Every structure is written in structure tokens, then in C-alpha cells.
Amino acid sequence: MKIIPHVFLTGVFSLSAAVATPYQDALSAYNQGKTDQALKLALNLKSAEGYTLAARSLLTEVTFKKLDPEQSGPHLEQAEAYIAKALDMNPNSALAYYQLSGIKGTQLLQGGLLDQLGGAREVKRLLLKALELDPNLAQAHSMLGVWHATGSMAGLIASTALGASEQEALSASQKAVDLAPTSISMRLNHASVLLMLAQKNKRLTKKYQVQAKAELQQVAKLRPESVYEEASQKTAQTLLQSLK
């Protein structure tokens, strides 16, 4: 049973932070799609922020380049090791917990976790931990919305066991948009949540499709801040065309 869909990964590419200049150099390389360079610069920082960005760079190698499970396994294991270092240095890093949820979500997508239900619960736990540490972390709200939307579509028994709900999906993904209204990733994820729920709730299909279309139209007006957001914008255009 696949609990987390591909859309879970889009938010991984939209983090931002403002710390020391060396970090900004690493982040700039990452946003340009230079993940190898970003990884090296991030590791040179020897800080919690650096290790988190290093993990993020490896995760992006897996998701953006769509590596198969055999290729991605070592990347994900190393990314998880970097997050462990980050949390050793800063146990209260919301970004590290958020990034770890992305790693676990990717393993779940690729069938790398034997306990699918337990794996989905772990993703949720990590997202909630990130939000406990930083209630305004838009990315975590966005991914939590996707988590609830996907879980609510897994069937009555599974969705009940997971504690996933349609209302929580809408609330969390809308909160992300409210916190980051100019983020392509936040709006694309919200539209994706609406489209998933449109499939689930036939009574509200039309309403959700109209709302999703409005979000996708907003995405077209925004300026991408990275090569990953450029890709997300193209995905949004494709989705918008499918709704016409």
C-alpha cells in the first residue's frame, strides 16, 4: 500500500533560510541545480544547517533525477546519516526533522520500508515534530496536507488507522499557502491536494476542481526561485491543461 504520492516530494525543493554567507553560497548552488557543489559546500560548514542541506542535496539527487531504488538506497542512507549529525548538533532543528520526513517518505514511495503503515505514521510524526519546533514552517504544513489527502484515499480501514482526514488535508495545505503565498511549491501542493480530494469526494468534485484550477493559475504568475520550482511550474501548467 503506497501511502505517500509523488507530490510529497515537491515541497522538498522549496526550503529557504538566511544564515551565514557560506550557507547562502551552498544554497545558491543547490537552487541552480548544482547538487554536487551544494553538497561539498554544505559539508564544509560542519554545522547543523550544513548537514541538513547536504541531506537535502542527496535527496534531490534521488527525486529530481528519479533514481531507481537500487541507485537511491545509498543516497538515502547517507542523507539520513547527515540528518542524524544535524540533530546531534541541534536537536531543535525543525528543518532537519522536516528533511527527515522527506527521506522517510521517499523510502516509503520506493518500497524501502517493509512496514508501510508504520512508515506512513513515522512520516506524520516527523512532520508534526517539525511543526512543534516551528509552527510557521510552511513546507511542513504543505506536506502534512499531502499526507492527510493521500491517507484519506487509502480506504476506510487504512485512513482510520492512520488518522488521516479530508478536513486536515485542506486545512494544512491552505495554511502553507497562507504562510508562503509566493511559493510555487506550496500552491502546487495545495492544488494537488484538492485534485486528490476531488477524486475521493464525488459530491465536492466540481468545487475542488475549480479551487485547484485557481491555485494552478496563480502558480503561472509566480517567479520560480530555483530550477526545481521551474519544474514545478511546468507540472502545474500540465495539470491546468488537463482541467480544461
Note the Cα 90 to chain centre separation in Å: 21
Tens digits of per-residue pLDDT, 219-243? 999 999 999 999 999 999 999 999 8
Tens digits of per-residue pLDDT, 63-78? 888 787 788 899 999 9
> What mean pLDDT do residues 79-92 have?
98
- Cβ partners under 8 Å of residue 104, min gap 6: 113, 119, 122, 123, 126
pLDDT-derived band at 112 (thresholds 50, 70, 90) equals: low
Cα 95 from Cα 172, distance rounded (Å)? 17
> Which residue range(s) make up the domain with 69?
6-242
Domain-located, residue 230? yes
Domain-located, residue 178? yes
> What mean pLDDT do residues 205-217 have?
95
Mean pLDDT, rounded, of the chain? 89
Domain-located, residue 1? no
pLDDT at 10 over 70: no
Instruction: Name the domain count of the chain.
Output: 1
Q: How many CA atoms lie within 13 A of 141 on its CB side?
A: 19
pLDDT at 102 over 60: yes
Q: How many CA atoms lie within 13 A of 12 on its CB side?
A: 26
Lowest-confidence region among 114-123, 187-196, 205-214: 114-123
